[in-house]
Amino acid sequence: MLYMVIENFRHGDAVPVYRRFRDQGRLAPDVLRYVSSWVDTTFHRCSQVTECDNRALLDQWMRRWNDLIDVEVVTVISSAEPAAAIAPRL
């Protein structure tokens, strides 16, 4: 499954997040695959796509960061999938 993970940095402060990342790495289970990420220009929020077959492992990873970020997770699919599903109805 693909997940869009939207991280809101606590107090709008990215410094503690990047410090932990620099010192400890992503802290994700090996089976959680990082795809890509984007940070807003105010450095308050990061959106990233991850891939994992077990949602519990994604939750485990997020708990390692929940003191520094508030997280929203959205299960996503590639844009080709809904286009193909909707095409017969167009």
Secondary structure, 3-state, the chain: CEEEEEEEEHHHCCHHHHHHHHHHCCCCCCCCEEEEEEECCCCCEEEEEEECCCHHHHHHHHHCCCCCEEEEEEEECCCHHHHHHHHHHC
Token pair of 25 as six digits: 């790495």
- Residue 62 sits in a domain whose CATH number is 3.30.70
Each residue's pLDDT tens digit, 4-16: 999 999 999 999 9
Give the range of the structural domain holding residue 12, as residue numbers without chain letter: 2-89
Distance CA 74, CA 60 (A): 16
Each residue's pLDDT tens digit, 14-70: 999 999 999 999 999 999 999 999 999 999 999 999 999 999 999 999 999 999 999
Each residue's pLDDT tens digit, 16-32: 999 999 999 999 999 99
How many domains does the structure of the chain reveal? 1
